[in-house]
A and B are shown apart, each in its own frame.
Chain A
């Protein structure tokens, strides 16, 4: 999922070259936004988080010591921005359904709108900490040690969060799959 970013571009941006940073932002913007969107489940929040993350990347870029770590470093800043957005606002309700915008994938195992709704509800019950682990591991395909490095937490914590999150999603799927109790007219 991660794309290699030109180290020379990073170097120029580190020294204040706005043009170089613009190229960097274009290259990184989509993948950052995609991750933010999947963590926050809200279009407006995801855009705000991505915008804030890109500005933080610009501001702190001179402190990135190893350009090869740009991807992981930028994800870390993005996740922090997602935390901030989630804390700052609670605009969850009006935008609850995630609509495919770019090339929806009808993959095996996700057969119905019901499944999506179940997952949506289950995912929204997770904390941002748990969502971030799920997205970094299952969407970006990052190994757990890289997820830990990105989030700045021990691998054991990542493993625990992932276990908790997946158990929650599984429970959501199974619970919502059970038939709802019928109302009884009296």
Chain B
């Protein structure tokens, strides 16, 4: 009869035997596939912000640095999770780096998913149709078609000329709260979870941007309100809370992340009524955007198709 200790000793000895070295050809296969394997950027630290000027970036870097020092000083807790997402993500001062921007070989992402329900990929986009899975950034699966090369995806944004004065970008967002004032945003959250009309109303009344009256349109077969919102050049973020402008935070209780308007940026916000679920589709352009890029952006908006949330029939697509 073997004792437990004896069996454990035998098992340990037996496990010591066998292959350990990974054959070179396997390693070579992996390295060969890297250019065609885009990295998935974490969505949790990203501010999903575009069009910030340098002063804003410096301000955010400083704010985050102070926050990190304070938090580290108070709680030097060991990491409890392994690669998972924690409850309190640390904001990143600037959008993440795409493989193309980091010196790695840029490889076009073929038609496929830009965002799953929990993750968004990053990198240059091929021409073609892409989708956002239901649940993460849209209440029903949403597809769109990129009409030309030169576009990329970053933290769920479909963007061209990223972070430049001529940027155009599109993003979808499930919005739970909106700031009543994009400059003095602290303490000004308005709950907009109930209806699309409530979200549209909160945006129309938002202070700090020049806002158009909403017009009725159709996006992906669903009724929508179109609202054009421009941050005037006279706005000085340095005079605002934390020296940044905030349109809304990420959904959730901690006011992390969110959409940050930049001075001179125009957001055309479509508040889409997806079977009663409000969805914000934001088509953003900076002042120096070319007419061709604006036309492409409009084409992307026109190409949007949204599936009914599970269990209902699909509408006839039209814009």
Contact = CB atoms under 8 A, between A and B. Distances in A.
What band does the interface of chain B fall in when counting residues whose beta carbon is under 8 Å from A? 35 or more
A62 B46 CA distance: 12
B26 A50 contact: yes
A138 B39 contact: no
A16 B22 contact: no
B96 interface: yes
A72 interface: yes
Contacts of B97: 15-16
Interface in B19-70: 19-23, 26-27, 29-31, 33-35, 37-42
Interface residues of A, number: 65
Contacts of A158: none
B67 to A, nearest CB: 16
Given A32-B22, A47-B23, A102-B21, A18 B35 contact: yes
A138 B12 CA distance: 6
Q: Is the interface of B mostly helix, strand, loop or mixed?
A: loop
B82 interface: yes
Interface string A15-40: 11110011001100111111001100
Contacts of B42: 62-63, 65
A74 to B, nearest CB: 9
Contact of A69 (B7, B23, B83, B119): B83
B96 A62 contact: yes
A17 B83 contact: no
B34 A58 contact: yes
Contact of B7 (A38, A64, A105, A166): A166
B296 to A, nearest CB: 26
Interface string B235-255: 000000000000000000000
Interface of B: 1-2, 4, 6-23, 26-27, 29-31, 33-35, 37-42, 79, 81-86, 96-99, 101-105, 119
Given A47-B22, A55-B34, A59-B39, 14 more contacts: A16-B102, A30-B22, A31-B20, A33-B21, A34-B18, A43-B19, A50-B22, A62-B41, A63-B85, A76-B82, A110-B13, A116-B17, A170-B4, A173-B7
